[in-house]
C-alpha cells in the first residue's frame, strides 16, 4: 500500500498528490510514469511522474478527474493509501548536454508533464523558455512552479482571460520569428496541439520531441495497446517512449486510436451494478 502524504486541488478538475513510494523515488527521472490501481476492482491507469523527492521517498502525481478511476482516486484523502503504484516506467527524457536553449510547451493538464521536463533541463544548466497554454484563467495550474525553473514563461489562454490571448503555436512562431535559436522544442498536451507544434518547427528543422499518451494497459509492451506509428514503424509508448520525434509521429492514426473506447468509457461511467447498486470503479 502506498500512503498519500499530501493532496492539493490545483483547480476544479485537477488534483496533485504526493505519495510515499521510496523505491520509485530512488530511480525516477523526468519523462517517466507510474501505473496505479486504487483497489482490487480498479483498472490500471498510467500517470506521468510530476515530481519526486529522493530524500523523502515521495513521488508526486497530477491527474485530471475525468474517468471512473480518477474520480475514485480523488475520493482518497491524506493518510489514505493506494493499492498499487508501479514504476518508474518508460524511457526518461534525454537531456542533450550540448543544448544551449530549449523551448518547452505544455497544453492544459499537459503542463503537469511539461513542468518536470523543464525542471530537469533547468537543473542541467540549459536555458529554458516555456509556453503554457490553457483554455482560460480558471484552469491555470503550476504557474509558480513553472516560473521557478524557466528563464522565460509565457502564459497563454484561448480566451485572453490570463496572460496573452492565443494558442501555444502562435507564441512559438513569434519567438522563432524574433530570432530565438532553439536546439530543441518539447511539446506535451493534447494530440492536436502536439501535431501543430511539430508542423510549426518542421520548416526550421528544429528537433521536436512530443510525449504521447495512447491507450495503455500493462505498461510493459506486452498488450500492444499503446502502439503508435513513428517513422513508419510500430513503437510502443510504454517501453519505447513516451517521448518520440514529433516530425515522425503519425498523429492522425494516434488520434483515431485514442477515440476507440470513448463510447465504452461513457457507458462504464453510467453502469450500475445489479448486485450492489453501485457504479463501477473502473
CATH number of the domain at 204, please.
Answer: 3.40.50.80
Indicate whether 187 and 126 sit together in one domain: yes
Indicate whether 112 and 241 sit together in one domain: yes
Give me the mean pLDDT over the 213-217 stretch. 67
Indicate whether 77 and 194 sit together in one domain: no
Those residues whose C-beta lies under 8 Å from the C-beta of residue 270, and which sit 6 or more positions away, are 279
Indicate whether 39 and 130 sit together in one domain: no
Q: What percent of the chain has pLDDT over 70?
A: 87
Predicted TM-score of the model (pTM): 0.85
With a cut of 70, say whether residue 271 has pLDDT above it.
Answer: no
State the Cα–Cα distance between residues 102 and 180, nearest whole angstrom: 10
- Compute the Cα dihedral for 26, 119, 227, 269 and give only its sign: positive
Q: How far is CA 145 from the centre of its chain?
A: 15
Indicate whether 109 and 248 sit together in one domain: yes
Those residues whose C-beta lies under 8 Å from the C-beta of residue 114, and which sit 6 or more positions away, are 104, 105, 106, 130, 132, 146, 186, 188, 189
Please give the helix or strand (H or E) that residue 265 lies within, else none. Answer: helix 262-270
Domain-ending residue, one of 62, 89, 116: 89
Reported confidence tier of residue 43, pLDDT bands at 50, 70, 90: confident
State the Cα–Cα distance between residues 132 and 262, nearest whole angstrom: 27
Eight-class DSSP state of 83 = S
State the Cα–Cα distance between residues 280 and 278, nearest whole angstrom: 7
Indicate whether 147 and 240 sit together in one domain: yes
What is the span of the domain harbouring residue 128? 101-258
**Is 183 within a domain?**
yes
The pLDDT value recorded for residue 110 is 92
Pairing mode, strands 33-37 and 14-20: unpaired
Indicate whether 249 and 190 sit together in one domain: yes
* Least confidently predicted of 42-46, 58-62, 163-167, 246-250: 42-46
CA separation (Å) from 26 to 56, 59, 88, 94? 10, 9, 9, 18
Amino acid at each position: 500500500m502506498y500512503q498519500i502524504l499530501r493532496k492539493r486541488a490545483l483547480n476544479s478538475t485537477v488534483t496533485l498528490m504526493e505519495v510515499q513510494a521510496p523505491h520509485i523515488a530512488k530511480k525516477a527521472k523526468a519523462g517517466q510514469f507510474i501505473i496505479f490501481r486504487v483497489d482490487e476492482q480498479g483498472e490500471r491507469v498510467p500517470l506521468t511522474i510530476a515530481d519526486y523527492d529522493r530524500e523523502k521517498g515521495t513521488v508526486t502525481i497530477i491527474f485530471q478527474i475525468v474517468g471512473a478511476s480518477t474520480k475514485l482516486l480523488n475520493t482518497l484523502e491524506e493518510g489514505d493509501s493506494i493499492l498499487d503504484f508501479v514504476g518508474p516506467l518508460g524511457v526518461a527524457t534525454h537531456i542533450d548536454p550540448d543544448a544551449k536553449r530549449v523551448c518547452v510547451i505544455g497544453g492544459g493538464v499537459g503542463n503537469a508533464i511539461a513542468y518536470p521536463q523543464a525542471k530537469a533541463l533547468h537543473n542541467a544548466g540549459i536555458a529554458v523558455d516555456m509556453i503554457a497554454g490553457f483554455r482560460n484563467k480558471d484552469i491555470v495550474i503550476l504557474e509558480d512552479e513553472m516560473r521557478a525553473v524557466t528563464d522565460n514563461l509565457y502564459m497563454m489562454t484561448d480566451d485572453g482571460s490570463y496572460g496573452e490571448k492565443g494558442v501555444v503555436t502562435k507564441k512559438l512562431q513569434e519567438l522563432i520569428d524574433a530570432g530565438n535559436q532553439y536546439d530543441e522544442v518539447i511539446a506535451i498536451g493534447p494530440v492536436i496541439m502536439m501535431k501543430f507544434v511539430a508542423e510549426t518547427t518542421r520548416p526550421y528543422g528544429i528537433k521536436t520531441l512530443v510525449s504521447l499518451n495512447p491507450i495503455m494497459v500493462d505498461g510493459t509492451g506486452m498488450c500492444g495497446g499503446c502502439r503508435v506509428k513513428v517513422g513508419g514503424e510500430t513503437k510502443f509508448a510504454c517501453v519505447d517512449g513516451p517521448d518520440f520525434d514529433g516530425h515522425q509521429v503519425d498523429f492522425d492514426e494516434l488520434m483515431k486510436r485514442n477515440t476507440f473506447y470513448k463510447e465504452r468509457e461513457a457507458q462504464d461511467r453510467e453502469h450500475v451494478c445489479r448486485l450492489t447498486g453501485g457504479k463501477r470503479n473502473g
